[in-house]
Amino acid sequence: MNEIKSDKFKWIDFAEPDADAVLKLQKEYDLHPIVVEEFSTPTLRPKAVEYDTCLYLAIHIPLFDADSRTTYPGELDIVITKDALITSHDKEIWQLTEFFDSLKKDQKKRDQYMDKSPATLLHSIIEMLL
């Protein structure tokens, strides 16, 4: 589990979430049990569900397999709370990883993208991925 903090909120990103990490997030952010279940089960269609403490989104990003030279949908689970953006994926989404790493290394870039709210950062991420 990787994490970036700003003065306003955190961005937590993890690939192939394990049960311990998900339970820790559930306790820390008071996530609904269905949200916790979504982290470990594939979602066939995009979805958006509002809960008391968060908004859950599942989107599919077109990914490319260089070996088989085919595209396939990579699922990105997203949770937005008042003070965190949580992203989770089973497959490597290199664009997301590069963006995350660039924010982690560059304070100026982090200030630019994480100066408002988790939703604003999510908008930038989705725009970049699509």
Per-residue pLDDT tens digits for 9-18: 999 998 887 8
Q: Per residue in 46-81, pLDDT tens?
A: 999 999 999 999 999 888 888 888 888 889 999 999
Residue 124: predicted pLDDT: 95
Q: Count up the domains in the chain and report the number.
A: 1
Residues in the chain: 130
CATH number at residue 44: 3.30.460.20
The residue range of the domain holding 19 is 2-129
b/e code 63-88 from CB counts within 10 Å (16+ = b):
beeeeeeeeeebbbbbbbbeebbbbb
Helix axes 94-105, 118-129, angle to 10 degrees: 130
From the list 76, 81, 59, 90, the residue with the least C-alpha distance to 10 is 81
